[in-house]
Amino acid sequence: MLHCPYCGSSINSDEHFCITCGKKLPPDINERLHTPKKFNKFWLFPLSVLFIMLVFSGILYLILENKSNEAQKLYTQGEEHVLQGEYAEAKEAFEKALEYKPHFDQATLSLNFMNKALQAESSLEDATKLMEEEKYQEALSLINDTESDLNIFNGPGVNQLITDIGATRNHVKLEQIENVLDKESNIDELKILLWDAEAIDSPEAATITENIRGQIIDYTFTKASEQLNDKQFSDAQLIVEDGLKYAPDSEKLQSLKTTIDKEQVAFETAQQQRIEQAMSTAEEERQLNETDAIDLIEVDLSKDEQGKLVVQGKVKSVATIPVNSILVNYSLETKDGNEVLTNEVFVYPDKLYPGETGNFEYTHFDIDEEGKNLDIKVNKMTWYTD
């Protein structure tokens, strides 16, 4: 479509004058339709700027990507150091990772943990020194505070450090328990030490636990036997039941508990009859005690780990029927024959069948054997038959 260059009206290609304005049309009107447009040179500057920005952005991206990869590599190395307990090396790796990537949140958190871990290592060393100075409570308090500082963190590295802290705590507790055991401990202290030792999961703690439990058993058996010999059945039963709380599987205490029950029943039901028949049955009891129903196999004196005097012995039933509640009466004498004391102790298990053997044991907590040479003499043994 052609247009008049003067008024802009539409014209045909074969017209020489504009029918609207009447002016003569230029002879090159047809050539003007195909005249190419000239390129605007003002677009060169913004295009050049855009190109430079794209190139710069690409280079910057590559640099940042390389730094990010290097930061991730260092972070991974730091994690490996953490799992191996190499906290100083791990800290250095995390710090370098943050140099490559300042806004690396995981590295920042891990670096904070490393600072706490290094503080924890130092605290554990201080706790060990306090333990060596026998300042056990201060050492345990320091360990507990150190563990509390790590509660905000989690992960395998934290778990390993917590495990190390727990091991140090157990070591301090064991040292504390052994320190108390080396001194003279009363029964209440032994009971507390038993619970503390049982709470520690280690072979060494298990050995100490059994040692403490053995002392509690010996003390309980001795005190309960004293009450039983005085016919204080209720008190004896309470002592044994308390001891069984700390040593429920003790055959020695279980047997004594059965003996106390039977002795109490026998005493309550036959006391009057025994009094009335005491004179008439004296000769029968003497003859019974002289029979071969029970043989004394062995008896000796020894010291336990705490230096207490222990009477131990063994008997054997040669009867043809079961016998029970076997009571051994013995005396402790000096070498020149002077009697120090007499005592009675029950054999366990409570009932012996023909051919079976039983044991008796009594720990004297109130006798200082140091400097004395004592002999033991079994005076007599009594028992009951079914």
In tens, the pLDDT along 54-106 reads 777 777 666 666 777 887 888 888 888 888 888 888 888 888 888 888 888 88
| Closest alpha carbon to 233 in 204, 262, 255 | 262
Is-contact 246 188, C-beta < 8 A? no
Tell me the β-bridge partners of 375. Answer: 333
Which amino acid is residue 34, in one-letter code? H
Higher pLDDT: 6 or 342? It is 342
Q: Measured between alpha carbons, how far is 323 from 341 in angstroms, rounded to an integer?
A: 27
pLDDT above 50 (res 289) = no
Residue 345, number of CB atoms within 10 A of its CB: 22
Work out the average pLDDT over 155-166: 84
| Cross-sheet strand order for the sheet of 309-317 | 294-303, 309-317, 357-364
Task: Please tell me the number of Cα atoms within 13 Å of 350 on its side-chain side.
Answer: 15
Q: Measured between alpha carbons, how far is 81 from 97 in angstroms, rounded to an integer?
A: 14
Q: Measured between alpha carbons, how far is 157 from 163 in angstroms, rounded to an integer?
A: 10
Residue 300, number of CB atoms within 10 A of its CB: 11
Q: What pLDDT shows up at residue 120?
A: 86
Write the pLDDT tens digit of every residue in 345-377: 999 999 999 899 999 999 988 776 554 678 899
Q: Measured between alpha carbons, how far is 75 from 94 in angstroms, rounded to an integer?
A: 6
Q: What pLDDT shows up at residue 284?
A: 57
Structure tokens at 128: 């060990």
pLDDT above 50 (res 322) = yes
Q: Measured between alpha carbons, how far is 332 from 342 in angstroms, rounded to an integer?
A: 6
pLDDT above 70 (res 35) = no
Which amino acid is residue 28, in one-letter code? D
Burial label for 344, CB within 10 Å (0-12, 13-18, 19+), is middle
Q: What is the DSSP string of 74-85?
A: HHHHHHHHHHTT
Work out the average pLDDT over 122-143: 89
pTM for the full predicted model: 0.49
Which run of H or of E encompasses 119? helix 105-132
> Any idea which of 14-28, 114-128, 218-232, 308-322 has the lowest mean pLDDT?
14-28
Is-contact 127 172, C-beta < 8 A? yes
Assign domain 294-386 to its CATH architecture.
Sandwich (2.60)
Structure tokens at 190: 């032994």
Q: Measured between alpha carbons, how far is 375 from 334 in angstroms, rounded to an integer?
A: 6
Q: Measured between alpha carbons, how far is 88 from 292 in angstroms, rounded to an integer?
A: 79
Structure tokens at 189: 């202290």
pLDDT above 70 as % of the chain? 87
Q: What pLDDT shows up at residue 370?
A: 54
Where exactly are the structural domains of the chain? 1-32, 59-175, 294-386
Work out the average pLDDT over 151-176: 85
Work out the average pLDDT over 213-226: 92
Higher pLDDT: 8 or 354? It is 354
> Any idea which of 147-156, 209-218, 243-252, 276-285 has the lowest mean pLDDT?
276-285
Using the structure block, give the residue that is written with the tokens 């009094």.
Answer: 275
